[in-house]
Amino acid sequence: MNNRSRKEKQMCTMIATSTVVNGVGKGAEGWFPITRATVAYDHSTHGNADHALLLDFANYDRGVDARLAIELDLASSKALLNDLQAAIEAAETVSAPRPAAG
Amino acid sequence: MWNNFRTDERLGVSAETITFPGGNDDAIHAYVAQPIAGGQVPGIVAVHHAPGWDEFYQEFSERLSRHGFTVICPDLYCRFGHGTPDDVAAKVRSQGGVHDDRVIADCQAASRWLRSLSTSNGKVGIIGTCSGGRHALLAASRVRDFDAVADLWGGGIIMSPDQLSPARPVAPIDFTSQLEAPLLGLFGNDDHAPSPEHVDIHEAELKKFGKNYEFHRYDGAGHGFFYYHAAAYRHEQAMDGWSKVFAFFDKYLKA
């Protein structure tokens, strides 16, 4: 996924960020292109917490419901962030250009 | 007061989704709840919260209506498309929310729609929770279409410069001098948005300009303590809060 544009957004808690991304996601009707990711901390729609980290992966060109939604507590979010960071660093290591021989 | 009706009264509300001319004369949806008993009654504009034009707000509107008000709850997200409330709210969230001016225009149009009813007594209040509380206060401060306003734990009344955005260019507290309607505020002391310190600052500003307001602050309650569908619900504080809402609107809209 690429950070082609990044905008700070504001909702009730005023904690929301939306980013144009390039990827795919699998929903109820199969795989579809993902064009926008939004990260927020706001009211939880489901779960026992009042608030949650809200992750939305969407393609609104395909309709309002073309969205993969995840709500996480903060501890899980931090663990996920660590795993994402570690995976990205490892990926960049293995995909880095090899130095020329000799 | 809740559960204080006479058992020989004609009771009930009718409620449905309508399409009405919102701000800019755009045709938008609204949920309308009206008492069936007839007579001249006040109106209330219910301003939904960030999670969307949802089932809670349908029931919120019906409860208010059951106490003698015609209630209209405009779908502030109507222009973003249609789906389940959480899907629509997510799309709005991804786009930075609805512009304050558009919300005010829709609320003003809703007030005028209420006053146009043959059953109107000529008075209209406005109420909202969470971002809806902020919007309700903002609307009542910027236009003269409301006779009373209730802000239930609206966050973002006070905003730091880095919190201002294209959709929210001015903090509502900056319009305090323009507020003419009496204000009811309900807040949980465990809330972070607004925090008790934010409520203190807001109250100081209201006092500075000699505004008519009453604030009630609840221990043991955080954000959204009316939300019986969520972990935030606090029944004792919520029922007392509802009694404050009914008394406030009775005083300023039915007298």
User: Does the interface predicted TM-score (ipTM) exceed 0.85?
Assistant: no
Examine the pLDDT at A4 and tell me if it is beyond 70.
Answer: no
User: Rg of chain A over CA atoms, in angstroms?
Assistant: 16
CA–CA min distance B154, chain A (Å): 8
Q: In this complex, do A49 and B231 lie within 8 Å of one another by their Cβ atoms? A: yes
Q: Which residues of A touch B82 (CB under 8 A)?
A: 64
CA distance B138 to A56: 29
Check CB contact of A72 with chain B, cutoff 8 Å. no
So what's the pLDDT on residue A9?
Answer: 41
* CATH code, domain carrying B130: 3.40.50.1820
Structure tokens at B201: 């600052």
Boundaries of domain holding B122: 13-254
Q: Is there a domain that residue B1 lies in?
A: no
Average pLDDT, chain A: 85
Are B96 and B166 a contacting pair, CB within 8 Å? yes
* C-alpha–C-alpha distance, residues B79 and B98, integer Å: 10
Confidence of residue A102 (pLDDT cuts 50, 70, 90): low
Query: Is residue B195 domain-resident?
Result: yes
* Domain segments of chain A as ranges: 6-95
**Does some domain include residue B218?**
yes
Calculate how close chain B gets to A48, using CA atoms only, in Å: 6
Cβ–Cβ contact A36 with B under 8 A: yes
pLDDT of residue A46 exceeding 80, the answer is: no
User: Per-residue pLDDT averaged across A16-40, rounded?
Assistant: 95
pLDDT at B53: 98
- What confidence score (pLDDT) does residue A14 get? 76
Over residues B128-154, the mean pLDDT reads 97
- pLDDT at residue number A51: 85
Query: What total of structural domains would you count in chain B?
Result: 1
The answer to whether residue B6 sits within a structural domain is no
Token pair 């699998």 is found at A26
Q: Which of B56, B82, B94 to mutate to test the interface with A (most CBs of A within 10 A)?
A: B94
- Residue B154, token pair as written in the block: 């609206």
Q: Which residues of B touch A60 (CB under 8 A)?
A: 81, 91, 94
